[in-house]
């Protein structure tokens, strides 16, 4: 993302840890990132303000911002970015 970013989505997948380990948002600009819905993933916003937990009070992932605000009573679950690697095994006879 390069402009202002507002997340108000719901996650259908109940395994938030699985989603969080494979999803990353990178904010290149200085505009703020607001997370008001379900969030599972890494946010890298080195130049931007990051605001978490305004509405939904559970966030999963890792977070970096130029100022991070976590609203009252929000639970933050650390989940490292570590996508599942698909493997392919081939055998010849």
Per-residue pLDDT of the chain (93 residues; tens, 9 = 90+): 888 999 999 999 999 999 999 999 999 999 999 999 999 999 999 999 999 999 999 999 999 999 999 999 999 999 999 998 876 666 666
Give the pairing type, strands 58-61 and 5-7. unpaired
Distance between CA atoms of residues 92 and 21, nearest Å:
34
Q: Nearest to residue 9, comparing CAs of 32, 30, 40?
A: 40
Report the alpha-carbon distance of residue 48 to residue 35 in Å, rounded.
13
CA distances from 31 to 2, 4, 20, 68 (A): 8, 5, 23, 13
| Full-model pTM | 0.86
Q: Which pLDDT score, from 0 to 100, does residue 14 have?
A: 93
> How many Å from the N-terminal Cα to the C-terminal Cα in the chain?
48
pLDDT at 84: 86
What is the structure's pLDDT at 87? 65
């Amino acid at each position: 993302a390069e402009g202002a970013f507002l997340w108000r989505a719901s996650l259908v997948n109940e395994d938030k840890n699985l989603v969080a380990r494979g999803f990353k948002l990178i904010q290149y600009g200085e505009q703020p990132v607001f997370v008001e819905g379900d969030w599972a993933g890494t946010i890298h916003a080195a130049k931007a303000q990051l605001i978490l937990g305004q509405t939904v009070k559970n966030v999963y992932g890792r977070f970096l911002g130029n100022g991070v605000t976590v609203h009252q009573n929000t639970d933050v679950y650390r989940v490292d970015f570590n996508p599942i690697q698909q493997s392919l095994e081939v055998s010849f006879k």
